[in-house]
A and B are shown apart, each in its own frame.
Chain A
Amino acid sequence: MNTVAVIDYGMGNLHSVAKAVEHVGRELHLDVRVAVTANAETIADADRVIFPGVGAIRDCMAEINRLNVGRMVAEAMKTRPVLAICVGMQALMERSEENGGVDCLGLAPGRVRYFGDELRDERGSRLKVPHMGWNEVRQTREHPLWEGVPDGSRFYFVHSYYVETGSDDLVAGKTTYGKEMVSAFADRNIFATQFHPEKSQTAGLRLLGNFLQWNCAA
């Protein structure tokens, strides 16, 4: 059996992630059990951990800190595959500009920046913020989670803040929206996406399937 803990710190919609992982597990004929939980023991016992997140970073970090989620993630990433999604990815960084500046977990080198109110594309047209919808992800290096996902596939994004990494070596995917930004990074046992694989239909489900079969050889 393959157990997956989706860390629930009370922010937003974890149903989508859990349902998508269960769906992929069935499709791949894997015996997958998904637990949506904040229980430290359940998370410590899980074979794989998903660290999701939506909403405002200040509220997310408050709950993450209150429930000691940072320690659970830090422990998990030593030995098991961890997938961080959206605000989950941002929370791994050192600090975010959102909500007047919020300290994050510092488990990965980087900062979270605002797109700005005057974001423009290369032709000078104004771009809306949040960055919402399907955009292309250029795979900047090979990774087991990209297996079978065509380079340049579109994934679903919804965010107003983006990760600026402190280490280019960790970047796994880039996306352009007014500026070039990190849309995926990978560091040993952790893979993190700014986009939502659970909402990205075929490409996203493929990535989740790869996560279920990833043995951390990367």
Chain B
Amino acid sequence: MGLARRIIPCLDCDNGRVVKGVRFVDIRDAGDPVEVSKRYCDEGADEVTFLDITASHEGRATTVETVRDIAAQVFIPLTVGGGIRTLDDIRMMLNAGADKVAINTAAVFDPPFVRAASERFGSQCIVVAVDAKRASAGAAPKWEIFTHGGRKPAGIDAVEWCRRMVDYGAGEILLTSMDRDGTKEGFDNQLNRAVSSAVRVPVIASGGVGTLEHLAEGVVEGGVDAVLAASIFHFREFTIEQAKRHMAARGIEVRL
């Protein structure tokens, strides 16, 4: 027995409410982030990720107050992302109670920012979030990264980008398949496998989970260290505990 694979519910938040976009648009309301976080923690979530989905393109800072409220009641790791652009943004989130921050758009526009952040706060709290979309299919597919909540192509190869971010000090990669996000068709496990085998740091798979088996596939087929999902948990289709029991039944080591 050893390290458990993690199940991470993700709260996409807009104006202090949990929402979930389908393919990064169409928003459904899923509740109060503090209440939802507490429920996940009680159900056995290994971490919680809080993403302010509007922060990046509307220039809004992620709701510090919400982060503070979650951190006061949830005693598992908390990652905060959305609109993290400066060392002060990171400091503010850590002081509010975040354990890690996820950097996405700012990493693309200013890669040395990731290096400065990891040198200042330690790699352990710097997650680089990567939104990747298939650029070519076939036996050796390629993926391109996007910024601004998945709206702008950056013209950069996703696997190369992840390698570079790890060289710059990223302690973890949060990898979202934009082709799958919101579809409930399962992860892009070719993408997960390509990135996970290319980097030495943990990879969190995101985008496309519709069933519990999809979570297991992320580990078995995608080789990832953690799986992230939003809507299957928000709308109570499944509990975190059900997800863990399913993964355990598939022979995956989890914290029960």
Contacts and interface: CB of A to CB of B under 8 A. Distances in A.
B95 interface: yes
A199 B100 CA distance: 12
Nearest to A87: B122
B75 A205 contact: yes
Chain A: interface secondary structure? mixed
A129 B75 CA distance: 23
Nearest to A15: B97
Interface string A19-50: 11001000000000000000000000000000
Contacts of A131: 3
Nearest to B122: A55
Q: Which of B2, B3, B125, B201 has the most CB of A within 10 A?
A: B3
Contacts of A176: 1-2
Interface stretch (A74-82, A152-160, A165-173): A152-160
Given A121-B2, A132-B171, A154-B4, A12 B75 contact: no
Interface stretch (A104-112, A133-141, A142-150): A133-141
A192 to B, nearest CB: 18
A117 B200 CA distance: 7
Contact of A135 (B4, B71, B95, B171): B4
Contacts of B156: none
Contact of B76 (A130, A156, A160): A156
Contacts of A19: 71-72, 97
A128 B201 contact: yes
A177 interface: yes
A164 interface: no
A65 interface: no
Band of interface residues on A: 35 or more
B121 A55 contact: yes
B77 interface: yes
B245 interface: no
Q: Which of A15, A127, A129, A204 has the most CB of B within 10 A?
A: A15
A210 interface: no
Given A132-B225, A133-B46, A201 B41 contact: yes
A156 B46 CA distance: 9
A158 B203 CA distance: 14
A50 B207 CA distance: 39
Nearest to A115: B200
B98 interface: yes
A117 B95 CA distance: 31
B41 A132 contact: no
Interface in B207-256: 225-226, 255
Contact of B3 (A135, A199, A204): A135
B157 interface: no
Contact of B75 (A13, A59, A157, A201): A201
Interface string B15-48: 0000000000000000000000000010000100
A170 B23 CA distance: 53
B124 A128 contact: no
A135 B255 CA distance: 8
A13 B99 contact: yes
B123 interface: yes
A216 interface: no
Interface of A: 12-13, 15-16, 19-20, 23, 54-56, 59, 117, 121, 127-136, 154, 156-160, 176-177, 196, 198-201, 204-205
The 6 residue pairs across chains A and B that have the minimum distance between CB atoms: A55-B122, A134-B255, A13-B94, A158-B124, A15-B97, A134-B4
15 contacts: A16-B97, A19-B72, A19-B97, A121-B2, A131-B3, A132-B124, A134-B3, A134-B6, A135-B2, A135-B4, A154-B255, A156-B46, A158-B171, A176-B2, A199-B76
Given A121-B2, A135-B2, A158-B124, 18 more contacts: A13-B95, A13-B99, A15-B94, A15-B95, A19-B72, A23-B75, A55-B125, A59-B119, A129-B201, A133-B4, A133-B226, A134-B4, A154-B4, A154-B255, A156-B46, A158-B77, A199-B99, A200-B75
Interface of B: 1-6, 41, 46, 71-73, 75-77, 94-99, 119-125, 171-172, 200-203, 225-226, 255
